[in-house]
Amino acid sequence: AGMRVAVVGAGVSGLTATKCCLDEGLKPTCFEQSEDIGGLWRYTEHIEAGRPSLYPSVISNTSKEMSAFSDFPYPEDFPVFLPNAWVLDYLRRYAERFGLQEHIKFGTTVVSVRKRPEFIATGQWDVVTEVDGKQTSHIFDAVMVCSGNFSEPSLPLHCFPGIERFQGQYFHSRQYKHPDIFQGKRVLVVGMGNSGVDIAVEASRVATKVTICTSRGAWVLSRVFDHGYPWDMVLNTRLMSLVSNSLPGPLSRGLTNYRVNQWFKHENYGLQPEESCLVREPVLNDDLPSYILTGRITVKPSVKEFKDNSVLFHNCPEEEPIDIVVFCTGYNVSFPFLEEADIKVENKHASLYKYVFPTHLQRPTLAVLGLIKPFGAIMPVTEMQARWVTRVFKGRRANMSSPTYQNAIQTGHILSLPFLKTDRLVYMDKLASFIGVKPSVLGLLCRDPWLALTIFFGPCTPYQYRLEGPGRWEGARQAILTQWDRTLKPTRTRVPTSSSSPWPSLLTVMGFLLLLAAVVFGF
């Protein structure tokens, strides 16, 4: 009999975890507390306890080609950036295509996950679940935690002096659904993440006045990037990664600074990040600079204190009258079903090897997926984590008994910042090399030069990790070579009689240069 694996949650991570278990011949049981799949991406009008909450206008920040699971491209007619209902549709198709539905138990809450008495020998877990108030205990050989980190809002009211005397309304962004509550009101949005900026932009269409306050600032990127191509398909390439990781720190930061200020100069809009926050993940919003320019939104420093009907900002002498405050202050990482000893979470950080395995467990049979904020799409990252984890569970290419891992545990060299902005490509390549699926550009250059050039100079799409090794997918090469066709299909809905895509010609030039370099330098 195959190893029995409990998967907690049927969102993006839970679905791909279940699928990877099946690929490896393991026996997954996925427990989902709600009545449907989709996790964060399933919109509900009412807010459910313990579940992420979405507002109806949420659109993916990453393009469909960069966000796809590596063996299941998005349909070509889907928009390039996806409204939440389209992402959910894709997840339903994925579940159907790989027969995941039958392995999911809906309406089932995981109450506790505890090591069994003989854990050191077996690595097994006691998992207690609850359905309609009735609890059941199960034994599993391994557990994959895919419950996400957008369920428990972080609302540190003690950091906002005077909030208790504020007469207006205030709430956490998790409560937000529709902008009509802001009609004719003066709105303050606290925090400058993606939700904060989205809500400020929506509010400004109906509110009298909207102010965003931020202590740290942020880089703001538009989804529509150079020449109208998706931002992540332009920025997330192997060439760009190689360049930015080869340059000395100050040069690399200077390059980033130059790139992000090409659309508009952040300093002039009050958005320039503090020196210490230059590595924060950027905010994706297509409207913010024009809304600041047209006076709909004003950016201020952080709150000093609240008064009855107004607020004072640091370094600003005058009070600002306010009716409604939206706290976009993020979420706490919490695993209520796990023991404190099994995963330590302090100050939004968890001590996890490669952001996945709790470091102090004697057996690597508990994995946490998706607890990471990559610069780019998270779906392919969680899929890669799941591919690695399921192989570790099986004891293949584990890389867990390696001296590196043991040394990391002894010396404390653990990546204990799951919310650090990770270099997505470097991280994906590292996990891919553990599994044996990292593409070899130089190897391909001899066998399949066109593919090699597309992989190196083009966007680093997930299909690259299905070209060879375990889990190889026949359609990977074709998916890579047609990625721009699927990107252009939904927008090229009116084509003049003479037009051509710049990419093939650009790749041809690049290819010529690379081959020239190969001849000259003999590599």
Q: Is the pLDDT of residue 417 over 50?
A: no
Strands ordered across the beta sheet of 209-213 = 169-172, 324-327, 186-190, 209-213, 297-300
Q: Is the pLDDT of residue 408 over 50?
A: no
Q: Is the pLDDT of residue 208 over 80?
A: yes
Say what the pTM is: 0.91
Instruction: Give the model's pLDDT for residue 319.
Output: 95
Instruction: Give the model's pLDDT for residue 341.
Output: 79
Q: Chain centroid to CA 101: how far? A: 24
What is the arithmetic mean of pLDDT over 506-512? 65
**CA distance linking residue 382 with residue 373, whole number of Å:** 11
My answer on whether 131 and 160 are in the same domain is no
Q: Is the pLDDT of residue 139 over 80?
A: yes
Please, are residues 26 and 3 in contact by the beta-carbon 8 Å criterion? yes
Instruction: Give the model's pLDDT for residue 395.
Output: 87
Supply the range of the domain harboring residue 341: 4-151+332-427
Report the range of poorest mean pLDDT among 200-204, 230-234, 340-344, 446-450: 340-344
Domain annotation covers residue 248: no
Please, are residues 142 and 366 in contact by the beta-carbon 8 Å criterion? yes
Please tell me the total count of domains within the chain. 3
My answer on whether 197 and 142 are in the same domain is no
Confidence of residue 343 (pLDDT cuts 50, 70, 90): confident
Q: Where are the beta strands (DSSP E) in 378-481?
A: 421-422
Confidence of residue 281 (pLDDT cuts 50, 70, 90): confident
Q: Is the pLDDT of residue 427 over 70?
A: yes
Q: Is the pLDDT of residue 64 over 80?
A: yes
My answer on whether 139 and 160 are in the same domain is no
Q: What is the CATH number of the domain that holds 381?
A: 3.50.50.60
Instruction: Give the model's pLDDT for residue 397.
Output: 45
My answer on whether 299 and 192 are in the same domain is yes
**Which DSSP category does 208 fall into?**
S
What is the arithmetic mean of pLDDT over 514-518? 64
My answer on whether 215 and 160 are in the same domain is yes
Confidence of residue 419 (pLDDT cuts 50, 70, 90): very low
